[in-house]
Structure 1
Amino acid sequence: MSYMVARMQKMKTGNLGGAYKHNERVFETHSNKDIDPSRSHLNYELTDRDRSVSYERQIKDYVNENKISNRAIRKDAVLCDEWIITSDKSFFEKLSEEETREFFETAKNYFSENYGEDNIAYASVHLDESTPHMHMGVVPFQDGKLSSKAMFDKEELKKIQEDLPKYMNEHGFELERGELNSEAKHKTVAEFKQEMAGKEIEKQLVLEYGAPEYVNHQEEFVTKEEYQEAYEVFQNELGAWVDKSDFSWRETTFQEKIDWVK
């Protein structure tokens, strides 16, 4: 089963200009080799924002019109938390164009329902790169105040990693919870996309070459079924509450898969 991917990056004034140009493809030439300009016309926006207005102008106007304080927005304030929403390439290959759009609309609805529809500044879907994905900007604005720390603290980020996949499953998309990585929010978009490309290669090693996915406590390769059976026994003996990290069997590393194929 494929994984749900939801990764957040805090955006200040200095970040929003580049994000706007990238998401709206506002450039004559670009250095991003992942972008196929012949497919850029397939990209679309899921909000009704005026796409000719920059993100910075749009968000600042929205906050200034609704904030309770007369103070100016701080120059170093986080104006927007941008989420990249996606899954692996094989997941999207099974979906039609309509289903792909529904996937992104469903993810957007989750954030609208939990963090305010008016706070969704933009939701830009890209189909002109290797894997479909959405850049969604959520303005961390509540009770008349702008605060990323208040809206998306560590506990809330953990909650999203748990609840979003469940929400997607309830709406017909079979997805597993992605691994919770506290460092993910510190990665650049390029680093994140590079990591996703590595995961695609790793999945290909399994599907096309039969590389082993799991290793037991004796460092022997085992099947997925054997791993799941052993973990169920482990849970039954120690209780369903047990932390999976205490289970000695594990997934094979990328290098172990490569070495096995060699």
Structure 2
Amino acid sequence: MTSSELWSRATADRYDAEETEMSSAAVLGPTLAFLAELAGDGRALEFAVGTGRVGVPLRERGVPVVGIELSEHMAAVLRRKVDAHTLPVTIGDMATTVVPGAFSLVYLVYNTLSNLLTQDEQVECFRNAARHLEPGGRFVVELGVPPLRFLPPGQVAVPFDVSERHLGFDTFDLVEQILVSHHLTRDGDGTGDAHTDAGRYRRTCSRHRYAWPAELDLMARIAGLELERRVADWDGTPFTEDSGKHISVWRKPA
């Protein structure tokens, strides 16, 4: 077991409903095209496959996909969509769990690398990816760039969503490189009075270890991988100092 926090049954059951935007064609289309091109005629391994938001449609595109998932509850939601023969899933952590075979692509999307709360575990995740890759295979990570420059002096919180149904902000421990995402989500329909609606907000939080792209490149080098490409999004927008996230591709030497 790693330091990753486990998803509960309740969280897993509402995950897809709360991530409808991330499951939209506008988001998934470029993601799937990017990953399918890298997979080629080979197999793909998704670390933290979750409810299959990416893995299931990638499999439907003809890419054989295998998943590793820490939460049995998240895997159970995936299993409602596709059977174990079509998309095998092993319950375990992405830093140490090994599945049979070699893969042309290992990928880890939607900031999930940050679920590993220590540098050592993140390094082991890179090593585990390299362990599963065939020569010439790629490891792909989608991860946000720490928004520390938005922190005013003396403050520790940065909002990332202020909308009618959701308030989200991150707090930072700059010494430990720990980010805590706080969420206030409205469960009601917003039609009641102010006191009623106020009681319908659900509060959740999750811990993450943030890392800079350069730190990830060093982790990759430790694992024997070489940086091949870094872009700002799945459409291939150039990565710059203003980019809020990156898609990085490391290659295992042939």
Which TM-score applies when normalising by structure 1?
0.24
Task: Considering fraction of residues, name the structure with more helix.
Answer: 1
Larger Rg: 1
Relative contact order: is structure 1 or structure 2 higher (C-alpha 8 Å, sep ≥ 6)?
1
Which TM-score applies when normalising by structure 2?
0.25
Task: Considering fraction of residues, name the structure with more strand.
Answer: 2
